[in-house]
Every structure is written in structure tokens, then in C-alpha cells.
């Protein structure tokens, strides 16, 4: 899965629409302290379905919206769009009908956030699965935060295993298993209710 463009609008310090072309090979982001390097990485995590405000260094998800400065008013929404090269049609069915896939996440104050894939409304879960199955996503070990290496060294074996599973692209399977188990439990409850009703009628 090759990312080709990241667009930000009103996301954290990127108040003006900003396009970043992601070329083949290694990409480096350099700049002085506080210029927004980590915000870029967070924008990537966010558009891939991050749900934890803490992972965005905020108290609530709306903290990703440009909060204003002495000279510029705060914005009411933030939007991040990630363009993925899909010419090899590697995206799963439902997503793989064009050469590029545009995943857009938009958050509006007091209205929460929503996702679109090639202009169609999609669920957060669909986006999270899309990236998890491609061994990437908001939890991907390929996105290394500041301080993360020290955390890895000190991590317990269970936490390290989770990182290996993310890298192997099987974390999406765990999510599916969990959902299947919940469905099974619901069906078992319904069945026992039906049995009670049948017993009462007999
Ligand atoms: P360093 O090299 O020190 O790690 P950095 O280049 O990674 O810095 P970031 O941490 O990405 O910089 O950006 C921090 C800047 O983003 C700060 O100036 C902060 O005020 C600004 N910022 C963060 N959230 C918002 C927001 N919601 N609205 C406006 N500005 C924000």
C-alpha cells in the first residue's frame, strides 16, 4: 500500500490547506522545534482511524482542530485526507474500483468525526480494517513516536507480542474474532430466549 499524498486543513498547527506529496522511498521531515513534525505523524494516525485523544496529545478528539493564535481565530473543523496508490488493486473489495483511494476524515466541533473513502461515507471500522489488513494503521509500529523506543525496550512480553502481530498484519483478525464472538454470544442468548418461549407455549 503506497501513500502518495497527505492533505491537511485546520488540523492542529496546519490551519491553512497544506498538501504533502509522498514520493517513493524514504521520506524525511526536518524543521525546528515546534514547527509541526509530530503533528504530521499524528495526522497520518488520525486519518487511519486513531480513536484515542491521548495518542494525539489531546484531552479530547476536538483538540486536533486548530485552536487559534493571537492573530488567527480558531477553526470549526479539521480535515485530513490520505491518497493511496491503488493501481495494483490491492485494497480490499469495496475499495478497489479505482487507481487511487482517497480516505478523508473530518471532525466538526460538537458533531464528532466522519470518514469518507472516494467520496462515499464509510464507517471508522472499515477504515481501521483497511489499514490493519495492510500491516499499517494508527497503531502501526512503522510510525515511531518520540520516546517510543525507550517504551519498547521496557515493554512487557505481551505488549511486545502485540507489536509483532501488528507488523505481521494479523491484528485485524483479532478484531474480527472479537466481533464474531460477540455475535455468537448474542445468538446464544436469543436461542435460549426462544427455548423459554417454546417451553411456555408447550
Ligand atoms: P519538536 O521537534 O519539539 O518535537 P515538532 O516539530 O514535532 O516539535 P509539533 O509537536 O508537531 O512540533 O507541533 C507543536 C506545535 O503545534 C505547537 O506550536 C503547538 O502550539 C501547535 N499545536 C498543537 N495543537 C494545536 C492546535 N489544536 N491548534 C493550534 N496549534 C496547535
DSSP string, 90-128: -SPTTT-SSSEEEEEEEEETTTEEEEEETTEEE-HHHHH
Task: For ligand 1, atom 1, name the residue with the nearest CA.
Answer: 33
Pairing of β 100-108 and β 120-122 = unpaired
Asked if residues 117 and 102 have their Cβ atoms less than 8 Å apart, the reply is yes
What is the pTM (predicted TM-score) of this model?
0.78
Mutate to test the pocket of ligand 1, among 14, 34, 43 (most ligand atoms within 8 A of CB): 34
Task: For ligand 1, atom 30, name the residue with the nearest CA.
Answer: 13
All structural domains of the chain, each given as residue ranges with its CATH number in brackets, are 1-137 (3.40.50.300)
pLDDT of the residue at 138: 67
Task: For ligand 1, atom 14, name the residue with the nearest CA.
Answer: 34
Cα–Cα dist 148/126, whole Å: 27
Ligand 1 centre distance from Cα of residue 27 (Å): 20
Q: What is the pLDDT along the chain (202 residues), one digit of tens a residue?
A: 789 999 999 999 999 999 999 998 888 889 999 999 999 999 999 999 999 999 889 999 999 999 999 999 999 999 999 999 988 887 877 787 889 999 999 999 989 999 999 999 999 999 998 887 776 666 776 777 777 788 888 889 998 888 788 777 777 788 889 999 999 999 999 999 999 999 999 8
Q: pLDDT (tens digit, 9 = 90+) per residue, 88-97?
A: 887 877 787 8
Is the CA virtual torsion 56, 59, 64, 70 positive or negative?
negative
Flag whether 116 is marked binding: no
Which residues have CB under 8 Å from 80's CB, separation 6+? Answer: 6, 7, 8, 9, 11, 43, 44, 46, 47, 104, 105
ipTM above 0.85, yes or no: yes
Task: For ligand 1, atom 9, name the residue with the nearest CA.
Answer: 36
Question: What are the grid coordinates assigned to 93, written together?
Answer: 473489495
Flag whether 36 is marked binding: yes
Pocket of ligand 1 contains residue 36 by CB under 6 Å: yes
Q: pLDDT (tens digit, 9 = 90+) per residue, 25-62?
A: 888 889 999 999 999 999 999 999 999 999 889 999 99
Amino acid at each position: 500500500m503506497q501513500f502518495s499524498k497527505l492533505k491537511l486543513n485546520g488540523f492542529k498547527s496546519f490551519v491553512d490547506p497544506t498538501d504533502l506529496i509522498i514520493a517513493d522511498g524514504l521520506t524525511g521531515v526536518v524543521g525546528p522545534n515546534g514547527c509541526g513534525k509530530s503533528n504530521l505523524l499524528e495526522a497520518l494516525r488520525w486519518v487511519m482511524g486513531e480513536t484515542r485523544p491521548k495518542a494525539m496529545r489531546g484531552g479530547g478528539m476536538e483538540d486536533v482542530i486548530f485552536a487559534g493564535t493571537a492573530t488567527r481565530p480558531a477553526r470549526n473543523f479539521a480535515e485530513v485526507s490520505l491518497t493511496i496508490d491503488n493501481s495494483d488493486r490491492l485494497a480490499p473489495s469495496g475499495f478497489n474500483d479505482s487507481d487511487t483511494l482517497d480516505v478523508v476524515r473530518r471532525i466538526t466541533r460538537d458533531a464528532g468525526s466522519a470518514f469518507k473513502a472516494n467520496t462515499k461515507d464509510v464507517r471508522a471500522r472499515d477504515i481501521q480494517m483497511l489499514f490493519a489488513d495492510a500491516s499499517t494503521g494508527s497503531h502501526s509500529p512503522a510510525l515511531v513516536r518520540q520516546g517510543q523506543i525507550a517504551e519498547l525496550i521496557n515493554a512487557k512480553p505481551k505488549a511486545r507480542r502485540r507489536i509483532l502481530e501488528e507488523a505481521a498484519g494479523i491484528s485485524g483478525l483479532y478484531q474480527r474474532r472479537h466481533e464474531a464472538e460477540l455475535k455468537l454470544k448474542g445468538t446464544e442468548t436469543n436461542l435460549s430466549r426462544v427455548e423459554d418461549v417454546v417451553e411456555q407455549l408447550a
